[in-house]
Amino acid sequence: MDQIRVVIADDHPLYREGVARSLSDAEGITVVGEGQDADSAVELTEAKRPDVVLLDLSMPGGGGLSALGRIMTLPEPPVIAMLTVSEDDDDVMQALKAGAKGYVLKGVGSRELVAIVRDLARGQSYVSPALAARILHAMRSDSSAKRQANPIEDLSRREEDILKLVAAGKSNKEVGLELSLQEKTVKHYMTTILQKLHVRNRVEAAVMARDYWKK
């Protein structure tokens, strides 16, 4: 690999530009695109075909997890890492389960970030050391209990909010208006929800949700 091509998506311009500058100054790394929300992250990934994508967790348009899910559906998705302030176990687990190869906390120094990007481009995974031990424990606990868990319990909080509104009979457009999301973002969330629940359509998902929440 001659140059590691990187896309960065973060809605804080100063931070994003600082990361881009640090990576661009490193030998063998080229920043080919900078986005400020989930939609631009997906569009830049499709257009620029980077090797590595760095996504902030909290961005407009559904956030980094939404962008991650959509990018992972591309024919040849790049390596994706979350670059975030969130140390929440649920956020880490959701990102890793959705296909992220890295979870990097924003307190990381520029030299370390360069090394992490190079490792990711070589096929290695990375989780910030402060999170790694407890995430490993959580993954082991999760695997032992997963067989008996209802698949609805695997949904994120945002996915649950969307499913509840769908179960109440609302359209994607109505859900978007209520949750301040674009209609196409809701549609992408619904695709993920159907996959997680192992159902064929929103009607089956709504029935499963009603049965689950009426308990």
What are φ and ψ of residue 25, in 5° steps? -75, -15
For the chain, the domains span: 4-140, 149-213
Please tell me the predicted confidence (pLDDT) of residue 53. 97
Same-fold call for 4-140 versus 149-213: no
Please tell me the predicted confidence (pLDDT) of residue 7. 97
The DSSP letter of residue 201 is S
* Residues 159/189, Cβ–Cβ less than 8 Å: yes
4-140 has which CATH code? 3.40.50.2300
Please tell me the predicted confidence (pLDDT) of residue 4. 96
- Divide the 215 residues of the chain into consecutive groups of 10 and give the mean pLDDT of each group: 90 95 95 96 96 94 92 93 90 89 92 95 89 70 57 90 94 94 93 91 91 79
What's the whole-model pTM score? 0.64
| CATH number 3.40.47.10 is the correct assignment for the domain at 149-213 | no
Taking CA atoms, 21 is separated from 74, 124, 125, 128, in Å, by 28, 23, 23, 22
Spatial separation of the C-alpha atoms in residues 158 and 183, rounded to whole Å:
14
Please tell me the predicted confidence (pLDDT) of residue 40. 96
The pair of three-digit structure tokens given for residue 161, joined into one six-digit string: 């909010």
Spatial separation of the C-alpha atoms in residues 215 and 210, rounded to whole Å:
9
Please tell me the predicted confidence (pLDDT) of residue 80. 97
Please tell me the predicted confidence (pLDDT) of residue 215. 60
